[in-house]
A and B are shown apart, each in its own frame.
Chain A
Amino acid sequence: EPEVTQTPSHQVTQMGQEVILRCVPISNHLYFYWYRQILGQKVEFLVSFYNNEISEKSEIFDDQFSVERPDGSNFTLKIRSTKLEDSAMYFCASSDADSPLHFGNGTRLTVT
């Protein structure tokens, strides 16, 4: 069965640095998403992306964050000037129009 793949599985960065989290969605899917789960808290929606633009975003997704689909297969989340509170598990997901979301295994981001 096709899978959403995320790299790296674990990223450690220093406060103030920029990180890029990478995702390869399922190949025939057209909708892409990022969610995050801070340790001990709920899984939270960050952003959805369709037709090369953001279709919906949460209040968490401020100017510190950006998403990009640089080619036909990758979907990235960039976090600029990371803060301690950005430490979380970040999940990428993809879907087609009416299907449930398929999630990757996540990238655990640790900001020190």
Chain B
Amino acid sequence: AQSVTQLDSHVSVSEGTPVLLRCNYSSSYSPSLFWYVQHPNKGLQLLLKYTSAATLVKGINGFEAEFKKSETSFHLTKPSAHMSDAAEYFCVVRPWSSYKLIFGSGTRLLVRP
């Protein structure tokens, strides 16, 4: 069965320092992988997606993620955190030949001034 594990429920960083949000997935075939962000009282916004093209994927707002098949990981990074990055981040897998998305439990990012 397909699943997604986000290794940290909360991550706290100082403004201007790097961000690393970790995600591991389990999937029988080549999945599509996504990161979504949810700001308070807002919907889910797509940050980036991986669909078996380049393994390093660049998204919006300076975020990027690297697909590592050998490690079954899809960690989200950003070189320098901004206060506006404070939000909840979801790693998501869409199994091959399925319509549905499987969400991780989310990582809440706190950015300290």
CB of B7 within 8 A of chain A? no
Question: Are A104's CB and B43's CB within 8 A?
Answer: yes
* Alpha-carbon gap, A93 to B46, bound state (A): 12
Residues 12-62 (chain A) with a chain B CB within 8 angstroms: 31, 33, 35, 42-45, 48, 50, 55-56, 58
Q: Which of B18-26, B71-79, B94-102 contacts A (4 or more CB under 8 A)?
A: B94-102
Q: How many residues of B are counted as interface, with CB atoms below 8 angstroms from the partner's CB atoms?
A: 20
Q: Interface size class for chain A? A: 20 to 34
A-B contact count (CB 8 A): 45
CB of B67 within 8 A of chain A? no
CB of A72 within 8 A of chain B? no
Residues 73-113 (chain B) with a chain A CB within 8 angstroms: 90, 98-106
* Nearest-Cβ distance from residue A67 to partner chain B, whole angstroms: 13
> Taking chain B's interface residues, is the majority helix, strand, or loop, or is none over half, making it mixed?
loop
Question: Are A91's CB and B104's CB within 8 A?
Answer: no
* Alpha-carbon gap, A38 to B102, bound state (A): 15
Query: Which of B43, B51, B98, B105 is within 8 Å of A56, CB to CB?
Result: B98
Take A100-B34, A100-B49 as given contacts and tell me if A43 and B44 are in contact as well, using a CB distance cutoff of 8 Å.
yes
